[in-house]
Structures are given as structure tokens and as C-alpha cells.
Structure 1
Amino acid sequence: MAKRIIQVDEKVPLKQSIPLSIQHMFAMFGASVLVPFLFGINPAIVLLMNGIGTLLFIFITKGKAPAYLGSSFAFIAPANIVIAKFGYPYALGGFVVTGFCGCLLALLIKKIGTKWIDIVLPSAAMGPVVALIGLELSSSAASTAGLLDKTVDPRNALVFFVTLGVAVIGSVCFRKFLSVIPILIAIICGYVTALCVGIVDLSPVMQASFFSLPHFQAPKFDFNAVMMILPVLLVITSEHIGHQIVTSEVIGRDLLKDPGLHRSIFADNFSSMLSGLVGSVPTTTYGENIGVMAITGVYSVQVIAGAAILSIICSFIGPLSALIQSIPGPVIGGISFLLYGMIGTSGLRILVDNHVDYAKSSNLVLTSVVFVTGLSGASISIGATVLSGMVLACIVGMLLSLLFYLLDRAHLLNPDA
């Protein structure tokens, strides 16, 4: 029997909505709080702005695009350089300007439309680009779980395999309501296992004050600092398009047309700009939460809005925030292993659903070059911004697709292309 799908605009009873929302929040938490730790700031402000940003995203996209906004990794490299040279407030200034420019880009897309995407990202290029979103994150999941350490701690391995095992078995064996919360159940089982083997430190939970305000700070602006961060706009735009495409594939709706790419890009960048204004990090749509939707078949924006509200609450409740932060890496890694794989599979699904004909040389070349570019480790630097992995593959795929389009219009392609 096919899994019951809960569509984007469907309402979910409260007793089911709460655990579903917790599941989404847990899925994004590990990666999202890592960014503020790398920047040396308290994650409470990030939890607050992730929640607010997600609610704004849902509002701006008219409740038609299910997406959770977490901390963006694309800014880490240039922001760290700015922080070391100028200080964190100047990195915030770069976040604000980049977000503002992203909003202007959204207005441009609204004016020119999205038909250009079909030309520069045909299915033969789009499929591998989407697949790379998950595939290039696979090593991150293994690293988070501690599986890439020179000497793997058996306790980490046990917690990882329990978490992953429950998630996998649960996804195919659980029935009724349990079938839509296998990720949450796997996290709980992994956490209990981690407690049993002694790799969880609960002292921060005991020591945390019950109520605390997130730390706000204002941005400062310097032209050189801004120019170090601004090229990241190219990276986050490519990522955003990829995430919207894979989400469209998962939920069976074309989000680039309705609510429109211009709305989702505006919402994403407006959230980043607002975050920078109050001292938080830029936000982006999260692959982990796309993976949750793909596994559970629950696409309701009500559930994602619930997760956003829980994130806001956690930013003010010290013990609750500390408890979630105590979830060990092997648990997060075990869940991510499956979620990232689901994103990769969604890319392959694009190729299958669109009946990409690999008897045509152009399709074969496009997919081949995109995959190799993304997995080769090749990179190109633009100032302090490094283009690599999926982003570089996306750019190469777009340029190659455009070349093939122009050659076709000039009748220069051979009959087999």
C-alpha cells in the first residue's frame, strides 16, 4: 500500500503535529548550531532567527513552499576571514548587504521569469546537480558521527548504527502514525543508547538558567569586508535553486512557478538580511528537512511552522536548548546518513521521471561532466569565496547547457546530439 501523503496545505491534528514538528527541529538542529559555534557566538540567537526566518519564508511564499531555514554553511570561509581581520560585527554587515542584494536579485527574477532555467538546467543537468546536494554531504554525515576519525570509538559506532538502523527499519516497517515519525523515534533510540554508553554530558542542562535572552548585536559596515562576503550570493543562489527543485520533486509540485522562484529567493535572502541586522548568521533552506519530507510523506507547512515556533521557544528556555545541544554527533550523523541519501536519490528520480534519453550525446555529456565536476574536488576561488562541489558543478552544467542550446539554435549539433 502506498504511504499516506500529507500535502503542503493540509492541517494535522495537534497531537500528531507536535511530534512531527519536533522531528523537523531535531533534523536541522545539529548542522544549524554548528555555524554559530564556528563563529564563536551563542547559538540561542541563531535558534531564534531560524524560527523567525522560517515563519517569514512560509508567509512570503503564501504557505505553498514547505521549507525550514537553518544556518548557511556557504558563508563560513569568507566570514571567518572577515571575523579574524575586522571582527564579527563587520561579518554581520556583509551578511546584511548580501541578503539585500539577494532580494534585488529576486525582483529581477520576477521581471524576467524562470524560463531560462529550462534552458540552462535541463533535466540531464538538473538531476545530477540535485543528486550532488546529498552526495557531497555524505562525508559530513560520516565525520559528524565520528566514523572518519583515525581510531573509531566503538561507542560512537554503536550509537550511529542504532540510530541509522532504527531510521531505516522504521521507514519501511512502522505503520500508522509511527510510519511518519521514524526520524524522531530513531533520534530518541540513538540518544538513549548514547546515554547508556556514556557519551552524553548532561551537566550543561543542569547548570543552564531556566530563562535567558539571546545575545543581540548590531552590524558594522566596511567596504572591503562586504566585498569579501558578497560573492557568496552566487553560491547561495545555486543552492537555493537546487533545493527548490528537489523539494518540487519530493512534493510533486513546481515551486519555481507557484509560489515562484522570486518569492522563495526573496524570502531566503530577506531572512538572512534580518538575521545579520540583529547578530545572527545567514539562513538557507535545509537539505535535512527536505530529507525528512521525502521519508515521511508529510509536507504540511503547519508542521514546519510548528518546528519554527519550537525553535523560537528553545532560544529562550535554557535547559531545553542545552538538552537539544547535548544530542551527540553519532546520533546526528546516523540520521544525516539517511536524509542526505534521500536527497541524492531525488536527483536520480528527476532523470527517471523526465525520461532523459542517454542515447543523445548532449544528455550523456551533461550528466557526466556535472557529476565529475561535483565529485572531483575541483574548486575555483573568487576572492575569499571558494566555488566547489555542487555549486561549481551547477555553474559548469549551466554554462555547458547554454552552449549546447546555442549550438542547437545555430544547427551545429550532429543528429545524435
Structure 2
Amino acid sequence: MSKRIIHVDEKVPFGMLVPLSIQHTFAMFGASVLVPIVLKFDPAIVLLMNGIGTLMFIFITKKKAPAYLGSSFAFLGPAGIIMSSMGAEYAQGAFVAIGILGCLLALIIYKFGTDWINVVLPPAAMGAVVSLIGFELAGATVKGGQIGAEIMTENASTEHIVVFLVTLLVAVIGSVVFKKFLATIPILIAIIVGYLVAFALGLVDFTPVLEAKLFTLPTFRLPAFDMKAILTMLPVILVITSEHISHQVVTSNIIGRNLIKDPGLHRSIFADNFSTAVSGMVGGVPTTTYGENIGVMAVTGVYSVYVIAGAAVISILMAFIGPLSALIQTIPGDVIGGVTFLLYGMIGSSGIRLLVDEKVDYSKSKNLILTSVVFVTGLSGLQINFAGIQLSGMVLSSLVAVILSLLFYIFDRLGLMNE
């Protein structure tokens, strides 16, 4: 007997709706709360805005595109850079700016389609830029601070090293050996194990949890805007656009409907980025469609947007549980470092995967040069000051990638290429 499919627009009885929605909530929870943990944002406001963002996405896409919006990992690297030099409110401002630019991109896609993206940033360049999102911050994972372990600082001790290694090993081993439900939450399990070890070694202050009120309000915070911060964040729009398109294509294949055409890529990209902008305005982190929830749909055959909406409501309710928010914020940097050590590498690897999936032909000089120059520009430490703004890292490499890509396109149109 074949598995019953619950279609996108199909309403589900309440007795089934609750457990199916909780399943989606568990699928996204581990990864989604990790982003505010890493960035030291209030997890409660993030859960609230994830839920609200998901409901907005469902409404904007006319209840035709089942997707849960969780916290985006693509922003972690540049957000860490901005927060270390300017503060969290400027990272929020950059989130808002990127969200607004993404909405404008949706309008461009509506008017002109998507072919121009491969002209401005062909796969050979985009893959390298995506990789730099993770690789540029790799060193920060072991140097203390907001996202790193204390194993290479003057505060380093055996306890710090043990917590870091235990967390990292659980994340790595769990990612390849956990099965069934556990396979969807290896990072969350690693955080829990690392936290318990840190607590046993006296590295956790549990007082905030004991003092937290049972019900509380999320911490709302207004953004601040700075052009340098926005430019630092700008390359991420390339990553989230590519990620969004791939998620929509995969979901289309699962549910048997072409979401690129109906409700349209312009609608889903607008909804995704509008959610990011709104979240940044009130103190949350950027949102994105979640592969974990796409996986749940593929396994269960449950595509109903009403189930997704139910998961969003559960996320909103969780935002008002005080002890949960306090507990998340007591997680030490050694645990975060153990997790980000793997995650930043995975973000970097996703760029390499893009190169493989797109079958980039490196026997062609233009592809080899694009990837090589972008990588070296981003990783060499090169800095250029222009109009009072310092360009370096992935910001500079992205600019170089666009310039070279356009130049090669012009040469090709003029018949000047030697291939």
C-alpha cells in the first residue's frame, strides 16, 4: 500500500495537525536556535520572528509554497565581523538592508527573469564567493570571543579544551552515524552534550535560568545603519539567492508542482527577504527556507501549508518561555566554538559543492581564473581603501568576481576569448 500524500492546500484534522506540526518544529529547532546562540542574540525574539516570517511567507506565496523560515547560517561570518567592531545593532541594520535589496531583486526577477545572474556571477565565481563566507571566519572558532573556544587565548585551560573537543566530536560523529529522528538534530545534541560537560567542569553559571520568569517577553532592539556594515554583509545576497532557488527547485520536485512558475520565484524570494528585513528591524536574525523541513516533507509525504503554519505558531509560543531563553544564553563559547568549527567548514564546503553540482569545466581558462582570483583575493588579507571604505575579504573578492565576470562576458560577446 502506497503512502498517503497530504497535498499543499489540504487541511489536516486537529488531531493530526498538532503532532505533524511539532515534527516540523523539532526538525528546524536545533539549527534555528544555533544562529542566535552563535551571535548572542535573544533566542526568544528569533523563534518569534521565525514563526511570524513563516506565516508571512505562506500568505505572500498564496499558500502554494510549503516552506518553514528558520535562522540563516549564511549571515554568520559577516555578522561576526560587524559585531566585533561595531556592535549587534549594526549587524541588524545590515540584515535589514540585505532584506530590502533582496526584495528589489525579486522585482528584477519578475521583470527580467534569472538569466542575468549567470552573467554577473557565473558558477565558477559564485562557488568561490560562497566558500569564503565560511573560510574567512574559520580562525575565529578557536580564538575566544562570541563565536570561539578559549583554547588559543590566555584563558585556555584543560577544561576549555575538553569542552571544545567533546562538542566537536559529537557534532562530527553524530552527523554521520545518527539515524532517523536523531539524524536531523546532531548539532543540537552536540550542544547539549557540550553544555553538560561544561556544566560538570564548572564553566556554566546556571543562575540566570533559576531566576528567569516562567513567561517573558522577547528582547526587542532597534537596528543601526552604517554603510561599511552593509557593504560587509552585501556578498551574502548572492548566497541566499542561490540557496533559495535551489530549495524551491527541490521542493517543486518533491510536491510535484513547479513553484518557480506558480506562485513564482519573485514571490517566494520577496517573502524570504521581506521576512529577513522585518526580523532585523526588531532584533532578530535573518531567515531562510529550511532544508530540514524540506526533508521532513520528502520523508512523510505531508506537504500541507497548514501543517507548516502550525509549526510556525508553536515557534511563536515557545518565544515566551523565559527559562528556555535564559538556558540558551548560558551556553559557553567553548561549546559554540566546537559547533562553529564544523559549521563554518560546512558553509565553505557548500561553495565547493556548488562548483561540483554546476559541473564547472576547469579546462577552460576563464573558469580557472575566476575561482583562483576570487579565492586568493579573499584569503590573502589584501585590503583596498576606496571612498573612505576599506574593502577586504569576501567583500573585495565579490567585487573582483563581478568585475572579472562582466569583463569575460564582454570579451566573449566581442569574440576576443581564445576558447
Confirm or deny: 8 A CA contact 1:56 1:271 kept in the other structure: yes
Correspondence 1:329-344 to 2 at 5 A: 329-344=333-348
Q: 1:373-395 CA distances to partner (integer Å, 9 max, x unpaired)?
A: 22223345677876543343233
Contact 1:380 1:386 in 2 (8 A): yes
Alpha-carbon distance, 1:187 to partner: 2.5
TM-score by length of 1: 0.74
Q: Which runs of 5+ in 1 are unaligned?
A: 1-7
Give me the whole-angstrom Cα distance separating, in 2, the residues matched to 1:242 and 1:391: 17
The one-letter amino acid of 1:106's match is A
Task: Tell me the amino acid that sits aligned with residue 397 of structure 1.
Answer: A
Query: How many Å apart are 1:402 and its aligned residue?
Result: 1.7
Residue 352 of structure 2: which of 348, 354, 377 is its match?
348
| Shift, 1:164, TM fit | 1.9
Could you report, residue by residue, the CA deviation over 1:276-303 in whole angstroms, capped at 9, with x for unpaired residues?
55x32462449xx769989xx9899889
Q: Distance in 2 between matches of 1:79 and 1:24?
A: 25
Tell me, what secondary structure is at the counterpart of 2:412?
helix
1:32-78 deviations in Å (ceiling 9; x for gaps): 256565xxxx6644442243224434554543556523595657877
Shift of 1:407: 0.6
Would you say the 8 A contact 2:33–2:46 is kept in 1?
no
* 3-state DSSP of counterpart to 1:214: coil
Pick closer, same or farther for the CA change 1:110–1:34 going to 2, 3 Å: same
Cα pair distance change 1:175/1:241, threshold 3 Å = closer
Q: Counterpart of 2:408 in structure 1: which amino acid? A: F
Deviation for aligned residue 1:347: 2.2
- Residues 368-417 of structure 1 show CA distances to partners (whole Å, capped at 9, x for unaligned) of 011112222334567787654334323322221221111111111113xx
Q: 1:328 to 1:205 in 2, by over 3 A?
A: same
Q: Which is further off, 92-101 or 22-31?
A: 92-101
In the alignment, structure 1 residue 375 sits paired with structure 2 residue 379: yes
**d(CA) in 2 for partners of 1:205 and 1:77?**
29
8 A contact 1:244–1:255 mirrored in 2:
no
Is 1:197 the equivalent of 2:197?
A: no
Instruction: Return closer, same or farther for 1:54/1:392 CA change in 2, 3 Å cut-off.
Output: farther
Cα distance, 1:118 vs structure 2: 1.8
Q: Among the aligned pairs, what percent are the same residue? A: 51
Q: Distance in 1 between matches of 2:339 and 2:69?
A: 18
Structure 2 counterpart of 1:366, from 362, 365, 370: 370
Instruction: For residue 161 of structure 1, report the CA deviation from its aligned partner.
Output: 1.6
In the TM superposition, what whole-angstrom CA distance separates every residue of 1:321-342 from its partner, at most 9, and x where no partner exists? Answer: 1112222222232222223323
Provide the residue aligned with 2:70 in structure 1: 68
Offset, 1:22: 3.9
- Quote the Cα distance in structure 2 between the aligned partners of 1:392 and 1:185: 37
Q: CA RMSD in A?
A: 4.5
Shift of 1:313: 3.0
Aligned amino acid, residue 70 of structure 2 = Y
Supply the AA of the counterpart residue of 1:376.
S
The equivalent of 2:56 in structure 1 is: 56
Q: Is 1:156 matched with 2:163?
A: no
Match of 1:407 among 394, 408, 411: 411
8 Å CA contact retained: 1:126, 1:347: yes
Query: In the alignment, residue 274 of structure 2 is paired with which amino acid?
Result: F
Deviations along 1:147-195, one digit per CA (max 9) or x if unpaired, are: 3424522222212222221222223223344333333332222222222
Matched, 1:129 2:133: no
Q: Residues 274, 16 of structure 1: CA spacing in aligned structure 2 closer, same or farther, 3 A cutoff?
A: closer
Letter in 1 for 2:71: L
CA shift for structure 1 position 25: 2.8
* C-alpha distance in 2 between matches for 1:251 and 1:150: 48
Query: 1:188 is matched with which residue: 192, 210, 225?
Result: 192
In structure 1, distance between residues paired with 2:313 and 2:385: 38
Return the alpha-carbon distance in structure 2 between the equivalents of residues 160 and 292 of structure 1: 29
Q: How many Å separate the matches in 2 of 1:238 and 1:24? A: 23
Q: Distance in 1 between matches of 2:271 and 2:194?
A: 34
Deviations 1:2-56 (A, max 9, x none): xxxxxx979999768747734633334343256565xxxx664444224322443
In the alignment, what sits opposite 2:103?
103
Amino acid at match of 2:190: A
Q: Is the 8 A contact 1:228 1:384 kept in 2?
A: no
Residues 322-367 of structure 1 show CA distances to partners (whole Å, capped at 9, x for unaligned) of: 1122222222322222233233223222323333222211111011
Q: 1:163 to 1:228 in 2, by over 3 A?
A: closer
Structure 2 gap segments, 5+ residues each: 1-6
CA 1:230–1:216: 2 relative to 1, 3 Å: same
Query: Structure 1 residues 382 and 272 mapped into 2: Cα distance closer, same or farther (>3 Å)?
Result: farther
Counterpart contact for 1:160–1:333, Cα < 8 Å: yes
SS at 1:313's partner residue?
helix
